[in-house]
Structure 1
């Protein structure tokens, strides 16, 4: 049976592009699979629920009830892809919770496939967070995101122990354009007739990276 994916987009650092990636991934999964459920664990506004209110629920992990409510939704093998936009403030609490309850082993028993997209940065906090996450995940479950808007140079070697996807820098005017709450990546691909535009190519490149992750998950099922 196909495994139910749970994508966790995270970093212990703020303002690093997590919500942008979560938006793109959620739209891609809806296009690819027909549906997706996203969870917004974020303090900043605008956040994922503001961009994709029909696909997103807010989640809190400040207490035991909130943690168990979220975990109960993630551990279900219902074939519905899940996406978590994990705010930096909740990074330690979330992965501490995962370790405490044995989420990774339970996910394997429940035919659920967690995939962590870790957005890299060059500081010590990011390096430490990356190694913490890498130590608790099975091989292939960790993907490094090289957001070139954050890393204006080569990806530090620390983050090369996992698969890497790269998000290219957009010009400032295009970045402002996609940050509008009404903007949809998929709708842009469908309506923009000129496929040579920089934004069209940027979205297609990112969707291709997400498709490769999905294909790897499919290969693991065989």
Structure 2
């Protein structure tokens, strides 16, 4: 029986690229599977809901009702992959909730494959949060994202590199281009006539990484 992946894109810091990766992942999964359900847990605009309103719902983890509503959806093995764009303001509360209800064990029992896509940082707060996740989730479920636009140079030695997703820097004019609310990564790949262009290569590379990751999670492989 195949597992249903649940991707939690997270960082305790703002403006590190969470929504960008949530967009990439959501569009890739929609292209690959024909369906995906994304959750937007953010305070600031623009958010994932603004970019992908047709496949995104808002979620709230500030009260018990909102937490239970979200968790009921995440542990449902309905063969629809879930993506969570977890705002920095909700980071501590979300993972506290996960630990209290035994989310990792319950997910395994129901053939749900959670993956924490954590944005690495060099500040003390990010490093503490990373260590918390390493204690809470299995090694195969923790994927470190190195956004080279945010963290220049190498990551700290304490960052485990077995599952590392490097997000290369784009030129500012291309970054501005993809930040438009009307921009679609998949539509760009389909419409671009020059596959050697920098943006085409950037999207294609990231889609390839996400394809490999999704295949491992779906098949229940830890390597």
**TM-score normalised by length of structure 1:** 0.97
1:1-222 to 2 correspondence within 5 Å?
1-220=1-220
Distance in structure 1 (CA, Å) of the matches to 2:29 and 2:82: 9
Displacement of 1:219 after TM fit? 4.3
- CA separation in 1, counterparts of 2:113 and 2:203? 25
Q: Distance in 2 between matches of 1:33 and 1:220?
A: 17
What is the rounded CA distance, in whole Å, between the counterparts of 2:154 and 2:65 in structure 1? 42
**Corresponding residue SS for 2:193:** coil
Give unmatched runs, 5+ long, in structure 2. none
Q: CA shift at 1:220, angstroms?
A: 2.5
Runs of 4+ in 1 over 6 A off after TM superposition: none
- 1:5-40 per-residue CA deviation (whole Å, 9 max, x = no partner) reads 000000001110000000000000111111100000
Distance 1:72-1:219 versus aligned 2 partners, 3 A rule: closer
Distance in 1, matches of 2:125 and 2:96, equals 16
The TM-score, its normalising length taken from structure 2, stands at: 0.97
Q: Is the 8 A contact 1:19 1:85 kept in 2?
A: yes
CA contact (8 A) 1:61 1:93 kept: yes
Which structure 1 segments of 5+ residues have no match?
none
Whether the aligned pair in 1 keeps the contact of 2:10 and 2:117 (CA below 8 Å) is yes
Query: Relative to structure 1, is the Cα distance of residues 188 and 69 closer, same or farther in structure 2, using a 3 angstrom cutoff?
Result: same
Query: Greater CA deviation, 77-86 or 161-170?
Result: 161-170
